[in-house]
A and B are shown apart, each in its own frame.
Chain A
């Protein structure tokens, strides 16, 4: 049977795994960049960048978040044993692409952290949104699921080419560990940003407590840095965090 034969999306997929939420990614890994464009750009977050690696995962090379690349290598290893025919046909259409979704000022591509991968079979990319998937992708999806990856066929608009590290898997990587995101900057969201805004307001600033590090928060961080004689960059690194009493 052809691996690229199109079949309906199976009725039961992704048992026990769900897609990673953007808020979770921002909270646990931080914003990959200070600013985004509509094209793919490199990760510049100084805490996240050292975790980006380029490596062969077996049938192809990827660039992505180190834990995701390691996990993908294990997935491919299992596929090579269980389905060597599929393994030989696999290729990638990319893993890392830090950008805004064009037309949006808030939605960051879920490839921005290098924790998602798009796959090809025999050089063919599965058509997104047609309600069908390549047979070979359906065959290997359970292997991805067992390793804590979510198959994009389960999105509201199916995207069967797409596999990403699942929400709970991301969380498990950081449970009991300090967050990778120890720097707060423009674009970050989450409780750490809310704590920053609360602290700034306690010092007399007037920020809306929304947990979003927008331009207003950045401007007031810069004002705080200027008042304290710190380097004025609008980024809350260890020195600024200590000066704010957040460290």
Chain B
């Protein structure tokens, strides 16, 4: 079931088709999580915010000094995109200082019963090919798929349509995210 308060759900386009639920990632929407969760990040000198997410998921935006990524929790099991976002060689080759876009939203792809099957989050990186004094950035969409017992890296996309195609295609799963 999806907790719909404060969320935007795209109109159903037809029986059996995937729909999207949008949850905010902005300043006013994300809050400090309970102390037992915040402490585990503080011990690693990380800062964490919890952002709205559909039940049974919990969505955390985690920040080091200059980079940020999302962590997910479902039924007390945690998964982190840190390795993917911060250390992924394709991300490193793309740009510097990947960060979860603070002005954007998280897009959850839902099946016909309203269960989330994937998460799409926008990342912004400093463009190393341009004059960084001007603050030029590169944007990519991180796609994370959900299965019964794991979370899955489904790739990076350049457009919303491409991200949704990845999210809606189970075969796009390339690597399970570490817990």
Residues of A within 8 A of B (CB): 37-43, 49, 52-54, 61, 63, 92-97, 99, 101-104, 109-111, 118, 120, 123-125, 127-129, 155-157, 159, 162
CB distance A39 to B89 under 8 Å?
Answer: no
10 A-B residue pairs with Cβ-Cβ distance under 8 Å, sorted by A, are A38-B68, A39-B137, A40-B99, A43-B133, A63-B133, A95-B132, A102-B63, A103-B49, A111-B66, A159-B65
Q: Is the CB of B102 within 8 A of A42?
A: no
- Name the residue on A nearest B95 (C-beta): A94
Quick check: A40 and B45 within 8 Å, CB to CB? no
Q: Are A125 and B65 in contact (CB under 8 A)?
A: no
**Is there an interface contact between A97 and B97, defined as CB atoms closer than 8 Å?**
yes
Is there contact, CB below 8 Å, between A123 and B89? yes
Partner of A39, one of B27, B47, B124: B124
Q: Are B99 and A99 in contact (CB under 8 A)?
A: yes
B65 touches A102 (CB 8 A): no
Q: Does B174 contact A (CB under 8 A)?
A: no
Among B68, B97, B101, B137, residue most surrounded by chain A Cβ atoms (within 10 Å): B97
Contact with A along B95-110 (1 / 0, CB 8 A): 0110111110000000
Q: Of all chain A residues, which has the CB nearest B64? A: A128
Instruction: Please tell me which one of the listed residues A40, A53, A127 contacts residue B87 in the complex, with CB atoms under 8 A apart.
Output: A127
A125 to B67, CA, bound (A): 13
Structural contact, A42 and B135, CB atoms closer than 8 A:
yes
CA distance A37 to B63 in the complex (A): 13
| Known interface pairs A39-B124, A42-B134, A125-B92; A109-B66 also in contact (CB < 8 Å) | yes
Residues of B close to A127: CB separation below 8 A: 87
Whether the Cβ atoms of B96 and A102 lie closer than 8 Å is no
Query: Given the complex, which residues of A lie within 8 Å of B56, measured CB to CB?
Result: none
In the complex where A54-B132, A94-B126 touch, is A125 in contact with B44 (Cβ < 8 A)?
no
Q: Which residues of A contact B137 (CB under 8 A)?
A: 39-40
Of the candidates A52, A93, A110, A127, the one having the most CB atoms from chain B within 10 angstroms of its own CB is A93
Per-position binary interface string of chain B over residues 104-147, scored 1 when its CB falls under 8 Å from any chain A CB and 0 otherwise: 00000000000000000000101010011111010000000000
Residue in contact with A102 in the complex, picked from B61, B87, B89, CB distance below 8 Å: B61
Expressed in whole angstroms, the minimum distance between the Cβ of A96 and any Cβ of chain B is 5
Which residues of the partner chain A approach B99 to less than 8 Å between Cβ atoms?
38-40, 99, 102
Q: Counting CB contacts under 8 A, is B93 at the interface?
A: yes
> Which residues of chain B come closer than 8 Å to A43, judged between CB atoms?
133
- Chain B residues closer than 8 Å to A54, beta-carbon distance: 131-133
Asked whether, in the complex, the Cβ of A129 is within 8 Å of the Cβ of B44, the reply is yes
Q: How far is the CB of B59 from chain A (nearest CB, A)?
A: 14
Residues of B47-86 whose CB lies within 8 A of A: 47-49, 61, 63-66, 68, 86
Q: When the two chains form their complex, are residues A102 and B93 in contact, meaning their CB atoms are under 8 A apart?
A: no
Q: Which of A37, A96, A156 contacts B45 (CB 8 A)?
A: A156
Select from chain A the residue with minimum beta-carbon distance to B135.
Answer: A42
Question: Smallest CB–CB gap between A186 and chain B, Å?
Answer: 17
Taking the closest CB of chain B, its distance from the CB of A28, in whole angstroms, is: 20
Query: What 19 additional pairs, Cβ within 8 angstroms, besides A54-B132, A102-B49?
Result: A37-B103, A39-B101, A39-B102, A40-B99, A41-B135, A52-B133, A63-B131, A92-B128, A93-B92, A96-B126, A97-B96, A101-B66, A102-B47, A109-B65, A111-B65, A111-B66, A118-B66, A124-B89, A128-B86
A42 with B133, Cβ < 8 A, contacts A94-B66, A123-B93 known: yes
Shortest CB-to-CB span from A242 to chain B, Å, is 30
B32 CB within 8 Å of chain A:
yes
Q: Do residues A123 and B65 form an inter-chain contact, with CB atoms below 8 A?
A: no
- In the complex the two chains form, what is the Cα distance from A37 to B126 in whole Å? 14
- In the complex, are the beta carbons of B92 and A101 less than 8 A apart? no
